[in-house]
Each structure stands twice: as C-alpha cells, then as structure tokens.
Structure 1
Amino acid sequence: MTVVTMQQVESALKKTVGKKGMSDEEIKNLADYLMSFFGYTDEVIDNRLTAEDRDVFYMLEEEGLLTSTQEEVLLKKGKLWRIHYWILKKDQIIRLAKSDEEGVEARDEAADVYGQLSDEEWARHKIVPEAQGSDKQPKPSDETN
C-alpha cells in the first residue's frame, strides 16, 4: 500500500488550490483536515461526512486529488443499499509532489511547441511594421514561404 506524506499532500494542494489564491496557512490546514479523514487508508465512507465536509471533498475531486465510487449491497429484506466512498488519489498526489521536488512543472506538450523553435525561425517570421502613419497592416519580413 502506497503512503503519502503530509509534505506531499501540501505540495499537491499548492499546485492545485494554491494557484487559485489559497494561502500557505490555509493549504496546511486543508492538508491536516484531509489527512484526518484518510490517515493511512485509501478510502473514506461518505456517511461519515457532514455536508460541509462533502463540499470540500467535491472541490478536491474537481482538482483531481479525490475520486468517488459506490458499492451496492443487497440486504436480507431485499432492499438495495448503496454505500458511497471517497478515494484519495495517491498516485496523483505523489506525481504533483514529485514535480515540485524536482522543480519542474508538468509541461503541456502543445504549449512546448513554441519553445522548440529556433531563434532563426522566430526571426524569419518576425512582423516588421511599415512606415509610421501608414494605414496598412504590418507584413512579415520574409515572404518567401
């Protein structure tokens, strides 16, 4: 069983809710709060949560740190009983924490395409403005494409 540390949880929270304006103190409190439910287990039964707790869990689910599942149990009287669980996404927390430890953000491949262009390529497609006061649109400096 994989175990996540408080430092990893705090780091993952900084990468998610921290980018939305949550302070370091609030992140630390949220990490304590979250781990008070999970401890060393992977899941928490939903019946244990208050409405306020559930709101926090839904927010963390949107951030990708939690997920939920349900189990259906047939009771002796023939009734179907649904049990809902919240699952801590330890792999996601560890991945986010590891990118923090390495000092590297997970990069979006589509955004990285511009970083791969050479200075020569950028210079070739540089927009050069015409004489000032002209109503014409700027044109590329090299039109041999």
Structure 2
Amino acid sequence: MDMIENSPFAPEILTKVIASKIGLNEQMAKEVALRILNYFGYGELVIDNILDQEDRRLFYFLQDLKLLKTNWEETILPNGRSWRIFYWELNTEEILREAQKLIATKEETVNIYDTLPDAVWSRERPEVAV
C-alpha cells in the first residue's frame, strides 16, 4: 500500500492498472506502461508535439480510459497570431484509485481462505457412517 501512496509513476503500478483496464496480459501491459513512462519521465506533463502518430493514438485511447488527461495553453506569437500548445497529463488520481481497487480485490480474495474451517485443510477423509 505504501508503494502506491509514495510512487504513482512506478511501472509496476501503471502496468497492473493498464492490464486491468484494457485486459492485456502482464507483459503487454508492461510494454505499454514503459512506453508511456518513457515520455513522462519524472514529470506529469508531456507536450503533444513530441508524440509520433502511433503513440498519439495510444494516448487518446488511454484518455478514453481516463488514465491520461489533456490540457492546453494559448500564447501570442510576435506576429500577433495566437498559438495553442497541447499537453498530456497522467491522471494520477484515477491511476491511484484503480490501483487501490486492485489491492482491495486482491486482499478480499486472499481473505476468503481465512473463513474456511480447519477441517477443510486436513488430508484425512471424514468417516462415513454405513
């Protein structure tokens, strides 16, 4: 739990969230997570201009899943024209929320076995009355 609270950009966390949201296997989800984190590094914003077309499609897909957000700013060029700069942002709140759900689900699954009686774990067969 501390890992999630302290490191929302950890590849392991993003991998598990992507695997859960998209339904990818662990290896493919890890590749996607590393691809995303290679753009972001230790920051939260990436300028849209650095993305190639394939990665931009991936980012739009992840935006649909609410894992990424977009924003923009407008500036005035020396010639008087306005220029918009578009940014991508990791939706850390959603990523952490999804990661917490996965941890809660895992804890629930583990706790199911705690509710079974001790006799279930015995290798001896119960005697049957004839």
TM-score (norm 2): 0.72
After the TM superposition, which parts of structure 1 deviate over 3 Å for at least 4 consecutive aligned residues? none
Aligned Cα RMSD in Å? Answer: 1.7
Q: Does 1:36 align with 2:41?
A: no
> How many correspondences in the alignment?
101
- Corresponding residue number in structure 1 for 2:11: 6
Query: 1:62 is matched with which residue: 61, 64, 78?
Result: 64
Q: Is the 8 A contact 1:45 1:84 kept in 2?
A: yes
Q: Could you list the per-position Cα deviations for residues 57-93 of structure 1 after superposition, in whole angstroms to 9, with x for gaps in the alignment?
A: 0010011100111110001110111100001001111
Mapping of 1:89-108 within 5 angstroms?
89-103=91-105
TM-score (norm 1): 0.65
Q: Is the 8 A contact 1:2 1:90 kept in 2?
A: no
Q: Is the 8 A contact 1:4 1:94 kept in 2?
A: no
Letter in 2 for 1:17: I
**CA, structure 1 residues 96+3, in 2 after alignment: closer, same or farther (shift >3 Å)?**
closer
The Cα shift of 1:29 comes to 0.4
Query: 2:85 is matched with which residue: 60, 83, 86?
Result: 83
The Cα shift of 1:3 comes to 4.1
Q: Which runs of 5+ in 1 are unaligned?
A: 105-145
Looking at structure 2, the residues matched to 2 and 86 of structure 1 have their Cα atoms a distance apart, in angstroms, of: 19
Letter in 1 for 2:12: Q
Q: Report percent identity of matched pairs.
A: 32
Q: Could you list the per-position Cα deviations for residues 102-144 of structure 1 after superposition, in whole angstroms to 9, with x for gaps in the alignment?
A: 226xxxxxxxxxxxxxxxxxxxxxxxxxxxxxxxxxxxxxxxx
Mapping of 1:93-132 within 5 angstroms?
93-103=95-105
Q: Does 1:53 align with 2:55?
A: yes
Looking at structure 2, the residues matched to 2 and 43 of structure 1 have their Cα atoms a distance apart, in angstroms, of: 16
Letter in 1 for 2:10: T
